[in-house]
C-alpha cells in the first residue's frame, strides 16, 4: 500500500447517512448545470465568445456513433451502420471546423484536443485522420495533448498506427465490468481478450495515460463482481480509473428500459460498493481524484489532485487548466468563463444550419458573477475538498451546513468550508447547498453515490 498523498482521504471508513443521500444531485461538471440551459442563449453568444477568446484553449470533438449501442448509455450517439449518415455528419463537422477556426483571433493557442462520443473509433481511421488534418490546418495547434475515447470491441490494428502517427498519448476505454453475466444484463458483451488486446495495442502505440471506465450499482452485481473487475483493472496497469455509480433513469434515457430494474442494488448496497471500490483502488496504489476517479501517482491527474490543480469540466475531473473549452460536433458543449452553450443536438438540424454557414449553438446559460462565484466554490469542494465560502454563504447556509458539521462530514474554519475524509461521499450533496437552482427537478439527477 502506498502512502496516501490525499491528506488522509485514503483508508477512511465512510459513515452511512442515507437521509443525506436521498436527494438526487447533479454531477456538477459545470455550474450552472446543463439543466439550466435555455434557448435564450444561442448563436450570438457563441459568436461573441469565439471572437473574444484568447490564450490557451482546449477542443472537444464529438463523434456520435458506435457500432453497437449499450443499453445503459446516456450519450448522444447512434449506430454507425449507415454510411450516408456517417458521411454527411463528417462533412458537416469539417464545415464547422473551418467556420469555427476562422472566428478565432491571433493569440489563441490550442493545447489540448479530446475526441469523444460515442466512440471515435466507430468511424474509419482514414476519416479520423482527415479530421486531425482539418484541425491542423484551421486551428492554431500548439503541440496539443491529444486524448481519445475508444471502444475496445472495435479497436483494430489500424487504429494503433493512427494513434502513434497522430501522437495520441491519452486514451480511455469503456470497460464497465469484466463479469460476463453483468455485461449481458447491460447490453455490452465484451470479452476480456478485447480489453487485453486493446491495452497492448495502445501501449505499443505510445499511450502513456490509459483510463478504464468502470461501473458499480449494476443489476445483479455483487461486491465480489466489483472487486474482481477492479483487480483485473489494476493488474492490466490502467493509469486512471473512473468508477461511476450506474444511474437507472429510464424516464430520461429510454434505452435503459432494456435493463431489468428488479435486480438493482439498493442504496445501502451501492454505498458499500462505492466504499469498497475506493478502498480497493487506494490499497492497490491509486491516488483518489475527487469522489469517483483514481490515478496512479505518476499520472498527471494524480499530480493535479495532490498539488491542488485539479479542475472539473464536461469531461469530468481533469488537469486541464485552459480557461476555455470549444466543443465541435452535434450536441457538443463549449465552456467559457461567462457563458456555456451547446451545439444543436439533432444531427439533421446541425447539418442544415452548417450547410448555411451558420454555427449551431441553440441552448446554454450565461454565468453571472454570482454563478461564477458559486461555481468556484463547488469546483473547490469537489476537486480540493475545500473552498473559501465567505461570510455571506456562511450566514445563508449555516443551518444546512450544521447537519454535515455535526456528523463530522465537514468542518468550518473561518470562512473556509472543508469536507472531511469521512464526508467524501457527500461532496456532491454538500456542493448542492450552494446551487440555488436545485430546489426542484430532482428526477433529472442521479444519486450522490
Cβ 243 to ligand SF4, closest distance in Å? 15
Residues 6+ apart with CB under 8 A from 306: 5, 6, 287
Phi, psi angles (nearest 5°) of residue 446: -105, 165
Q: By C-beta, is 73 or 417 nearer to ligand SF4?
A: 73
Q: Which is nearer to ligand SF4, 97 or 155 (CB)?
A: 155
The verdict on 322 binding ligand SF4 (CB under 6 A) reads: no
C-alpha closest to that of 50 among 102, 15, 88, 90? 102
Residue 174 or 277 having the CB closest to ligand SF4: 174
CB-nearer residue toward ligand SF4: 174 or 380: 174
**Can residue 77 be called a binding residue for ligand SF4 (CB under 6 A)?**
yes
- Asked if 329 interacts with ligand SF4 (CB under 6 A), we say no
Pairing between β-strand 416-419 and β-strand 333-335 as defined by DSSP bridges: unpaired
Task: Report the nearest approach of ligand SF4 to the CB of residue 79 (Å).
Answer: 9
Output the smallest distance, CB 172 to ligand SF4, in A: 10
The SS3 of residue 151 is: coil
Question: Is position 120 an interface residue for ligand SF4 (rule: CB under 6 A)?
Answer: no
Q: Answer yes or no whether residue 152 interacts with ligand SF4 by CB under 6 A.
A: no
> Phi, psi at residue 128, to the nearest 5°?
-65, -45
Q: Is 151 in the site for ligand SF4 (CB under 6 A)?
A: yes
Tell me the residue length of the chain.
449
Judged by CB, which is closer to ligand SF4: 94, or 153?
A: 153
Taking the CA atoms of residue 187, residue 193, residue 194 and residue 200 in that order, the dihedral angle to the nearest 10 degrees is 150
Closest contact distance (angstroms) between CB of 151 and ligand SF4 is 5
Residue choice 30, 46, 119, 169 for contact with ligand SF4 (CB under 6 A): 119
CA R_g for the chain: 21
* Closer CB to ligand SF4, 30 or 256, in the complex: 256
Confirm or reject binding of residue 73 to ligand SF4 (CB under 6 A).
yes
Write out the binding residues for ligand SF4, residues 221-260 only, by CB under 6 A: none
Q: Which is nearer to ligand SF4, 75 or 324 (CB)?
A: 75
Task: Among 75, 110, 205, 383, indicate the residue that binds ligand SF4 (CB under 6 A).
Answer: 75
Q: Which of 32, 118, 217, 288 binds ligand SF4 (CB under 6 A)?
A: 118
Contact window for ligand SF4 (CB under 6 A) among 73-81, 232-240, 289-297, 313-321: 73-81
DSSP string, 366-428: E--HHHHHHHHHHHHHHHHSEEE-HHHHHHHHHHHHHHHHHTTSEEEETTEEEE-GGGGGGHH
Q: Is 61 in the site for ligand SF4 (CB under 6 A)?
A: no
| DSSP annotation of 152 | G
Tell me the closest approach of the beta carbon of residue 69 to ligand SF4, in angstroms.
5
**Spatial contact of 409 and 420, defined as CB atoms under 8 Å apart:** yes
CB of 255 to ligand SF4, least distance (A): 8
**Span of 9-17, 62-70, 401-409, 422-430 interacting with ligand SF4 by CB under 6 A:** 62-70
Enclosing H/E stretch for 353: helix 347-355
> Which range binds ligand SF4 by CB under 6 A, 23-31, 116-124, 318-326, 413-421?
116-124
* Residue 80 binds ligand SF4, judged by CB under 6 A: no
User: Is residue 241 within 8 Å of residue 192, measured between CB atoms?
Assistant: no
Sheet holding 386-388, edge to edge: 386-388, 416-419, 410-413
Shortest spacing between CB 64 and ligand SF4, in angstroms? 9
Q: Which stretch binds ligand SF4 (CB under 6 A): 12-20, 41-49, 114-122, 424-432?
A: 114-122
d(CA 378, CA 120): 31
Torsion angle, alpha carbons of 94, 96, 102, 106, to 10: -100
Residue 66 contacts ligand SF4 per CB under 6 A: yes
Whichever of 116 and 288 has its CB closer to ligand SF4, that residue is: 116
The angle formed by the CA atoms of residues 1, 213 and 339, to the nearest 5 degrees, is 115
Judged by CB under 6 A, does residue 174 bind ligand SF4? yes
Among 26, 32, 117, 198, binds ligand SF4 (CB under 6 A): 117
- Number of residues forming the site for ligand SF4 (CB under 6 A): 11
Question: Mind spelling out the 3-state secondary structure of 33-78?
Answer: CHHHCECCCCHHHHHHHHHHCCEEEEEEEEECEECCCCCCCCCCCE
- Using CB under 6 A, pick the residue from 69, 243, 330, 432 that binds ligand SF4: 69
DSSP state of 107: T
Residues in contact with 159: Cβ distance below 8 Å, sequence separation at least 6, in sequence order: 121, 125, 150, 201, 205
Residues in contact with ligand SF4 by CB under 6 A are 66, 69-70, 73, 75, 77, 117-119, 151, 174
Amino acid at each position: 500500500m502506498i502512502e496516501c498523498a490525499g491528506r488522509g482521504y485514503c483508508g477512511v471508513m465512510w459513515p452511512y447517512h442515507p437521509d443525506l443521500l436521498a436527494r438526487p444531485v447533479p454531477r456538477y461538471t459545470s455550474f450552472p448545470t446543463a439543466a439550466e440551459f435555455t434557448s435564450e442563449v444561442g448563436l450570438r453568444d457563441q459568436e461573441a465568445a469565439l471572437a473574444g477568446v484568447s490564450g490557451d484553449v482546449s477542443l472537444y470533438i464529438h463523434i456520435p456513433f458506435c457500432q453497437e449501442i449499450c443499453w445503459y448509455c446516456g450519450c448522444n450517439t447512434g449506430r454507425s451502420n449507415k454510411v450516408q449518415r456517417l458521411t454527411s455528419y463528417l462533412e458537416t463537422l469539417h464545415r464547422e471546423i473551418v467556420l469555427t477556426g476562422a472566428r478565432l483571433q491571433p493569440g489563441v493557442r490550442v493545447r489540448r484536443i479530446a475526441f469523444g462520443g460515442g466512440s471515435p473509433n466507430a468511424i474509419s481511421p482514414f476519416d479520423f485522420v482527415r479530421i486531425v488534418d482539418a484541425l491542423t490546418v484551421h486551428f492554431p495547434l500548439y503541440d496539443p495533448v491529444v486524448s481519445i475515447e475508444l471502444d475496445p470491441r472495435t479497436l483494430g490494428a489500424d487504429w494503433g498506427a493512427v494513434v502513434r502517427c497522430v501522437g495520441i498519448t491519452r486514451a480511455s476505454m469503456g470497460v464497465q465490468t469484466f463479469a460476463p453475466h453483468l455485461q449481458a444484463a447491460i447490453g455490452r458483451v465484451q470479452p476480456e481478450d478485447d480489453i487485453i488486446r486493446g491495452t497492448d495495442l495502445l501501449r505499443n502505440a505510445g499511450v502513456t495515460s490509459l483510463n478504464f471506465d468502470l461501473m458499480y450499482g449494476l443489476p445483479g452485481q455483487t461486491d465480489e463482481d466489483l472487486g474482481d473487475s477492479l483487480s483485473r483493472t489494476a493488474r492490466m496497469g490502467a493509469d486512471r480509473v473512473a468508477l461511476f455509480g450506474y444511474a437507472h433513469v429510464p424516464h430520461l434515457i429510454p434505452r435503459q428500459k432494456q435493463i431489468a430494474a428488479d435486480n438493482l442494488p439498493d442504496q445501502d448496497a451501492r454505498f458499500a460498493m462505492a466504499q469498497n471500490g475506493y478502498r480497493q483502488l487506494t490499497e492497490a496504489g491509486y491516488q483518489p481524484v475527487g469522489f469517483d476517479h483514481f490515478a496512479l501517482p505518476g499520472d498527471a491527474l494524480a499530480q493535479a489532485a495532490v498539488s491542488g490543480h485539479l479542475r472539473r469540466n464536461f469531461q469530468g475531473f481533469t488537469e486541464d487548466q485552459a480557461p476555455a473549452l470549444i466543443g465541435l460536433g452535434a450536441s457538443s458543449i463549449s465552456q467559457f468563463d461567462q457563458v456555456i452553450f451547446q451545439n444543436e443536438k439533432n444531427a439533421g438540424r446541425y447539418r442544415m444550419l452548417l450547410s448555411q454557414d451558420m454555427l449551431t449553438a441553440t441552448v446554454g446559460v450565461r454565468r453571472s458573477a454570482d454563478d461564477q462565484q458559486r461555481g468556484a466554490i463547488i469546483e473547490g469542494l469537489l476537486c480540493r475538498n475545500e473552498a473559501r465560502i465567505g461570510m455571506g454563504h456562511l450566514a445563508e447556509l449555516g443551518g444546512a451546513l450544521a447537519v454535515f458539521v455535526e456528523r463530522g462530514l465537514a468542518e468550518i474554519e473561518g470562512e473556509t468550508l472543508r469536507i472531511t475524509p469521512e464526508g467524501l461521499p457527500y461532496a456532491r450533496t454538500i456542493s448542492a447547498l450552494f446551487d440555488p437552482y436545485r430546489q426542484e427537478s430532482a428526477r433529472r439527477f442521479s444519486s450522490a453515490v
